[in-house]
């Protein structure tokens, strides 16, 4: 199944983070995303560039709508011609399969922007 079409499940405290083996399977499906650690928590992060602020803002709005629909919300940093999106699961202080699903959905949104 394509990662972007998978269901984003509700994540509770204590849910397991993805294993190294799962990351090896999932990461190739979102190759432009980097795993970065912030305050000891891994995050999937990717910058997107746009020709102007208006287009970057519209992309930000689209990601916000996707996030709200899934009930899973990223950090979105907006600046002129650039949007950086970071996905991680706050409740488990790390990465869950949901984060990879949402990264794939973000890629789809960028491809159609």
Domain boundaries, the chain: 26-111
In the prediction, which pLDDT does 58 show? 97
In the prediction, which pLDDT does 1 show? 54
In the prediction, which pLDDT does 13 show? 82
Burial of residue 65 (number of CB atoms within 10 Å: 0-12, 13-18, 19+): exposed
In the prediction, which pLDDT does 57 show? 97
Half-sphere exposure of 108 (CA within 13 A, CB side): 12
In the prediction, which pLDDT does 89 show? 95
| CA nearest neighbour of 66 among 83, 50, 42 | 83
In the prediction, which pLDDT does 8 show? 83
List of the chain residues with pLDDT < 50 = none
Residues in the chain: 113
In the prediction, which pLDDT does 103 show? 98
Supply the CATH classification number for the domain 26-111. Answer: 3.30.1360.20
Q: What are the φ and ψ backbone dihedral angles of 80, each rounded to 5 degrees?
A: -60, 115
């Amino acid at each position: 199944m394509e990662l972007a079409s998978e269901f984003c499940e509700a994540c509770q405290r204590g849910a397991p983070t993805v294993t190294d083996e799962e990351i090896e399977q999932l990461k190739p499906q979102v190759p432009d995303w980097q795993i970065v650690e912030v305050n000891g928590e891994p995050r999937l992060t990717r910058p997107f560039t746009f020709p102007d602020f208006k287009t970057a803002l519209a992309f930000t709005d689209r990601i916000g709508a996707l996030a709200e629909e899934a009930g899973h919300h990223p950090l979105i940093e907006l600046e002129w011609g650039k949007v950086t999106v970071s996905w991680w699961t706050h409740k488990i202080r790390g990465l869950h399969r949901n984060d990879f699903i949402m990264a794939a959905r973000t890629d789809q949104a960028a491809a159609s922007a």
